[in-house]
Structure 1
Amino acid sequence: NSGTWLQCFYASHGYECYSSTRCLFNSTELQDIEFIRSYYYNKIEHVRFSSDVGRFVGYTEFGIKEAEYWNKDQAILAQMRAQKETYCQHNTDLWYANVLSKSVKPSVRLHSTMAPGYHHPAMLVCSVYDFYPKLIKVSWLRNGQETTSDITSTEEFANGDWLYQVHSHLEYMTLCLPGQSDHVCPLLDNSTVRSDPSAQAVNSDLCPSFLLWLQLTDFSLNNHNIPYSQLSL
């Protein structure tokens, strides 16, 4: 996890230089926290202070000179070293309490669509929206057993409001022989679904979600836009 604070300095032709402050952490314990202050000029980081190193390090000719100058000032070094506790540890407590410990259960939409080259719906799409935290797994079950073939999934990507979405596609043209029926359903797994009993209803609503029955010329899923709540056939 990380938190970033950005300070910009303006010039008439744009941003000339700026500094960023970052806190890298795995817990609220001081030994699991790193404080980093970076200074940039024309988008290039030229000097950095890291609490793990305990001093400034320069990355350009000018940055090396700045680091040498600041490292001679014990008052500046003491002030920067203290930021790990006074700035980072203080804020990690707030981030864990107000953001990182929170979760939002996903909403799910299941529908059929056409795969390229087909004239009938030939692909199931499970769209998972508005969940937090980011990590989630979408699996597909066929007759109660997980299937791993004919599946493509997107990466989790951000909505821009702390929430995420992901989409998983299952090609079902090859699942059934004519006259054969299969129970097919998606299954979600993330920390919200595991820990929140009300969120587990998402999976119970989806699975078993529908009976897939394919015949040579007649497809039971001929609607290109079927909400998962209506797929109990």
Structure 2
Amino acid sequence: MSPSWVPWVVAFLSTALRLDASVTQGRDSPEDFVTQAKADCYFTNGTEKVRFVVRFIFNLEEYARFDSDLGMFVALTELGKPDAERWNNRPDILARSRASVDMLCRRNYYLGAPFTVGRRVQPEVTVYPEKTPALQHRNLLLCLVTGFYPGDIKVTWFRNGQEQREGIMSTGLIRNGDWTFQMTVMLAMTPELGEVYTCLVDHPSLLSPVSVEWSENQLVLSGPSWGRSDSGQGLCYLPIHLGHSTSSSL
């Protein structure tokens, strides 16, 4: 954050909190209460369309907001009506709030884009059976994809080169807590001689999709099949709650 950026943020949030605090003045308020001001920026197609919304909250209930699409304050409860009317009659408050589309949202977007919008981390892919495999015994093949960013990813299962659309389950996207994601996509299968199963992963960080194969030849092997798109660290296995999916393309 650049030095010229800090004063605007501090000034705006200070103003918002002062406005929010005014809701309790001259009114019956409980001895203990919480007042909040929350500002959000919404971006469409980069900064082509930007919407700025600041919400004013009293005891967890939003009572008024400013919406840049409307260019004014709006009351959401009876409590917010006098405040919204008063703020809308203050040209200085309206001007600062409207200017936040550029001064807060667009400026913050360009400052943070290299670390968020432009950030790319390649996935690591592992394929392994749910339980010790045996020929002609029902099993699940798991394709664990982890450590990737952003969250846009497509995982597809193939059996002998044919895309599989039945018997697919997925955990959905899971946040790792370190600005990366993971996902496990499972295929219900019964291994037969000569069969080859392939998990294909496509992600914005990859020049071309990564594929990892598993076949009945690995029935005598221990451990999973690894597919790594970079030289990162080993994988961390986490507990997984299964969820059904009707498609293998996520």
TM range (shorter): 0.7 to 0.9
CA distance 1:220–1:141, shift in 2 (3 Å)? same
Aligned mate of 2:194, from 158, 169, 181: 181
Query: Which residue is 2:224 aligned to?
Result: 226
**SS of 2:116 mapped into structure 1:** helix
Q: C-alpha separation between the residues in 1 aligned to 2:131 and 2:124?
A: 23
In the superposition, the TM-score normalised over structure 1's length comes to: 0.76
Query: Which residue is 1:190 aligned to?
Result: 203
The equivalences for 1:55-204 within 5 A come to 55-114=72-131, 122-173=139-190, 176=192, 180-193=193-206, 196=207, 200=209, 202-203=210-211
**SS of 2:219 mapped into structure 1:** coil
Q: C-alpha separation between the residues in 2 aligned to 1:50 and 1:162?
A: 29
**SS of 1:192 mapped into structure 2:** coil
Identity %: 29
Aligned length in residues:
201
CA distance 1:159–1:110, shift in 2 (3 Å)? same
1:212 aligns with 2:216: yes
Query: Which residue is 2:27 aligned to?
Result: none
- Using the TM superposition, give the Cα deviation of residue 227 of structure 1 relative to its aligned residue in structure 2, in angstroms: 3.5
In the superposition, the TM-score normalised over structure 2's length comes to: 0.71
Q: C-alpha separation between the residues in 2 aligned to 1:157 and 1:14?
A: 37
List gaps (5 residues or longer) in structure 2. Answer: 1-11, 22-29, 228-250
Q: Write out per-residue CA displacement over residues 198-226 of structure 1, whole angstroms, 9 at most, x where no aligned residue.
A: xx4x32xx1xx23336xxxxx92674x42
Letter in 2 for 1:171: A
Where relative contact order (Cα < 8 A, 6+ residues apart) is larger, the structure is 2
Q: Write out per-residue CA displacement over residues 106-126 of structure 1, whole angstroms, 9 at most, x where no aligned residue.
A: 0112111239xxxx6721111
**More off after superposition, 40-49 vs 120-129:** 120-129
Q: C-alpha separation between the residues in 1 aligned to 2:33 and 2:196?
A: 58
Q: Greater share of strand residues, 1 or 2?
A: 1
CA RMSD of aligned residues (A): 3.0
Q: C-alpha separation between the residues in 2 aligned to 1:15 and 1:121?
A: 58
Q: C-alpha separation between the residues in 1 aligned to 2:96 and 2:168?
A: 54
Q: C-alpha separation between the residues in 2 aligned to 1:131 and 1:47?
A: 38
Q: Is the 8 A contact 1:158 1:164 kept in 2?
A: yes
CA distance 1:15–1:137, shift in 2 (3 Å)? farther
Letter in 2 for 1:220: L
Q: C-alpha separation between the residues in 1 aligned to 2:116 and 2:220?
A: 41
**More off after superposition, 105-114 vs 37-46:** 105-114
Letter in 2 for 1:23: C
